[in-house]
Amino acid sequence: MPYTNYLKKILTSRVYEITSETPLEFAPQISRRIHNHVYLKREDTHAVFSYKIRGAYNKMAQLTSEQLKKGVITASAGNHAQGVAYSAAKLKCNATIVVPETTPAIKVEAIKRFGGEHVEIVLHGGSYSDALDKALQLEKERKLTFVHPYDDPDVIAGQGTIGMEIMRQFNSVNASAKGPIHAVFVSIGGGGAVTGVAAYIKSVNPDIKVIGVQSVDSDAMLQSIRAGKRVTLKEVGIFADGTAVKQVGKETFRLAQDLVDDYVVVDTDAICAAIKDVFQDTRSILEPSGAMALAGLKKYAEDKGLKGQNLIAVASGANTNFDRLRFVADRVEIGQSREALFAVSIPEERGSFLRLCELVGQERSVTEFNYRMNDKAQAHIMVGIAVHNAKESGKIAEKFSKKGFETTDLTHNELAKQHVRNMVGGVSGNVTDELIYRFEFPERPGVLMHFLTHVSPHWNISLFQYRSEGGDYGSVLVGIQVAKKDRAQFKKFVTTLGYRYWDETENPAYQLFLKA
């Protein structure tokens, strides 16, 4: 077994010199709703509001006095940076923390607050990869010790104390449920937490499943497991920024191959629903990555048909911007499978609305209704309908279609949910050669100007929609008129711009509601 040495490392970890055990709490409302016994391991209750303090301090506490005197360095814009800063203040050693220039001020201020005079913050580049390259350069130049966010045995062992606590605490909180732990769910970024937790649990009780949870747009570990080697994602999603890692660690991948029983992939809506679930049971607000394990737990329980099992989710952190909550609240109903979104085409004649509403029925609530007259023969309506579970949307769409109303299910259409539902009726008959692209722009001054100055004067911007979501990045919808002879040049432009993008020109939400 390639992980047995980790049991001793976890048992002798120095984590408790800086923090205490976090609670393992029964979640009654979630448990009732999904018909299992759900427990939350509250890692958001640490002083830095995330589990990262465990691994950061355990690594730094193992360093020699000479290494501490020279100082440490790391690259991170989030929870690991705060853990290193807090540990540096405790150990009275200097820490250089390299963060991307795009890092929000709230995170930079948190790093300063926890580290005080012991921390130097270096702003460099536009991404974590840029910051990492700079940190590795400074490590050599200044002869500092690098504290890796996840790919280090001492960091992994520090995170492994979560598993040790779960095993010790479960029996004392298990009064309302019978039987052993069925599974423990842990979110995965680079893999330090899931492999540390699994190393301890599998050493003590191999029958307990350890399930890794990833977001659908940042699933480097799952792709690596399937490929049998570490893969590097071309790009990662940014909603769950705490787990947005393009490549997992060498050591974490080695351990995960042997220790992690299964993987669950969840989307943004499911994560938003899990944030609300935790709030309802605890009145605490987790960050997206912090709620990811619970989102995976719910999906796994549904897919496997589990009933009456003891399931534990690691609530890994609560470092989120308050402004992001408006986006979370917007997406919760779909994430909880309580709302379905449709595009419905009906005859532009009297009585059509009534016939459609009669099909919806009095037992269902209409949650959203968007319409503007455009075509004299046919009307395109965007309608939200309350549902009880995810399977109902297909049945509703089929019901509408059978009655002669052409219907497209937009429940999982990102363009519709994030942009078009706010723009229905914005059709122009004067637009030709229009391409529709969705971009993720960093939330920092000058980004829009950078985009506009690089757009060819031969291309006209015909549509633009954006609203701040309170995160590090914002989703922007852009319509640009580009003649067919210039399409190759335009394609080159978007690929060299440096921002994530999606061509939405053929998206049915655009075709039905925005295209002339």
Please say whether the beta carbons of 321 and 366 come within 8 A. Answer: no
Q: Could you tell me how far CA 236 lies from the centroid of its own chain? A: 10
Do you know the residue count of the chain? 516
Check 9, 41, 52, 299 and give the catalytic one.
Answer: 52
Token pair for residue 486?
């210039």
Please say whether the beta carbons of 93 and 68 come within 8 A. Answer: yes
| Cα distances (Å, whole numbers) of residue 496 to 192, 433, 492, 493, 500 | 33, 22, 6, 5, 10
- Residues 41 and 315: their CA atoms lie apart, in Å, by 6
Q: Could you tell me how far CA 361 lies from the centroid of its own chain? A: 36
Catalytic residue status for 31: no
- Residues 235 and 246: their CA atoms lie apart, in Å, by 7
CA atoms within 13 A on the CB side of 85: 27
Please say whether the beta carbons of 409 and 460 come within 8 A. Answer: no
What's the per-residue H, E or C state across 20-32?
A: CCCCEEECHHHHH
* One-character DSSP codes across 327-396: HHHHHHHHHTT-EEEEEEEEESSTTHHHHHHHHH-TTS-EEEEE-----SSEEEEEEEEE-SSTTHHHHH
Geometric angle at alpha carbon 472, from 471 and 476, rounded to 5°? 80
- Residues 167 and 184: their CA atoms lie apart, in Å, by 10
| Buried/exposed code over 4-30 (b: 16+ C-beta within 10 A; e: otherwise) | eebbebbeebbbeebbeebbbbbbeeb
Edge to edge, what strands does the sheet with 95-99 contain? 119-123, 95-99, 72-75, 145-146
Return the DSSP state at 313.
E
Adjacent-strand bridge partners of 437: 478, 503
Please say whether the beta carbons of 243 and 268 come within 8 A. Answer: no
Catalytic residue status for 52: yes
Q: How would you classify residue 396: left for phi > 0, otherwise alpha for psi between -120 and 50, otherwise beta?
A: alpha
Check 13, 76, 218, 316 and give the catalytic one.
Answer: 316
Please say whether the beta carbons of 226 and 165 come within 8 A. Answer: no
Catalytic residues: 52, 316
